[in-house]
Amino acid sequence: MPNINTPSSVDLSSFETRDTLPARAKPYWHIHSPRTHLGYYKGSRGAAWYGRMFIGDGKYKQAKLGPCKEEGGADARGLTFELAIESLLRWAESEQSGEAPGAPAPDRSAAGAGRSVRSASQLQPTRLDAISQAWAQERPDVDFWLPGFFLRIEYAHYLHDRRVQEVAKKAGVTVGDLHVLLALRRNGTDSAMRPTDLYRELLVTSGAITKRLDSLREQKFIERAAAEGDRRSELVKLTRRGLAIADTAMTRIAQSLEGIVKASGVRRDELREMDDCFRRLIAAM
């Protein structure tokens, strides 16, 4: 078993990032946890995922996890980044338990979601756990469980934002433009809004909202509407095209979140309890 120094971590989570990496003879490594690393080999004819698990004294085990599914790729066997992480954890777990590395993958359907869920105590340590542990070692006088908890909230927001960006990309708009379309849609199909109301609601500058509105007008997703009783005040409303884009995007976002909840095994009553806790935390901030 080889001996190696821990490498610096490479962000492999998005196609755009992987696409910028030059082909080379050895994998790029993403540190999923101090013990488990996800590797990405990029050759001239394709790409593949690798797993590496450290077993002590700088030694590690390594295995090929499968081909990488890139954007527009036709290989149905290919693994996305998320599936590659799951494959990495299954392989590492099988190595630890002595099971065959080729053990069948868990049922990913809604019916099988509950059976594949592990308790929090069984989940592999993450990069965020490593951050908390490092601070706990450097500052043992401070309890870093709470900062770690809020780091996970922040990371959940980052992952959700990435999914929304993918939805916007499929719709042919930027994520900023999509937020404008969604704000107009939830205001009502036949309602109009002032640019001032939009930038206040979306927490952006007036210059930013002007740029987004100009872009959406060019694509015929929105149109001007005169304010009743004051033609000098500009209002904007969705066109039929904009309405269709907003409705499709909202459906995709909701379906994606439903899939995440099903895969996690978290019940609706547990989510409601968490929601109540988050509301109280936010109110105290």
Backbone angles phi, psi at 109, to 5 degrees: -75, 170
- Could you count the other beta carbons within 10 Å of the beta carbon of residue 211? 14
For residue 144, pLDDT beyond 80: no
- For residue 224, the enclosing domain spans 162-284
Predicted TM-score (pTM) of this structure: 0.54
Average pLDDT over residues 152-164: 88
Whether 181 and 92 share a structural domain: no
Q: What is the mean pLDDT of residues 37-58?
A: 86
- Assigned domain for 240 exists: yes
pLDDT band at 46 (very low <50, low <70, confident <90, very high): confident
Q: Strand 222-227 and strand 230-238: pairing?
A: antiparallel
**Main-chain phi, psi angles of 49, to 5 degrees:** -100, 145
**Whole-number pLDDT of residue 155:** 86
1 domain-assigned: yes
> pLDDT (tens digit, 9 = 90+) per residue, 223-259?
988 766 555 568 999 999 999 999 999 999 999 899 8
- Report d(CA 275, CA 166) in Å as an integer: 25
Q: Is residue 156 part of a domain?
A: no
Q: Are residues 171 and 271 in the same domain?
A: yes
To the nearest whole number, what is the mean pLDDT of the chain? 80
The pLDDT of 24-33, averaged and rounded, is 87
Cross-strand partners of 278: none
- pLDDT at residue 11 greater than cutoff 90: no
Cβ-proximal residues to 217 (8 Å cutoff; 6+ apart), any chain: 223, 224
Phi first, then psi, for residue 198 (nearest 5°) are -65, -45
Q: Does a structural domain hold residue 236?
A: yes
Residue 61 corresponds to which amino acid? K
Which of 74, 99, 124 is at the close of a domain? 99
* Of 17-26, 33-42, 56-65, 177-186, minimum mean pLDDT range: 56-65
CATH number, domain with residue 238: 1.10.10.10
Q: Domain count for the chain, please give it.
A: 2
Mean pLDDT of 27-39: 86
Q: Decide if 114 is inside a domain.
A: no
- Which residue type does 36 have? T
pLDDT band at 182 (very low <50, low <70, confident <90, very high): very high
**Which residues does residue 69 pair with via DSSP β-bridges, in sequence order?**
none
Higher pLDDT, 163 or 77: 163
The three-state secondary structure class of 42 is strand
Mean pLDDT of the 201-212 span = 90
Whether 95 and 167 share a structural domain: no
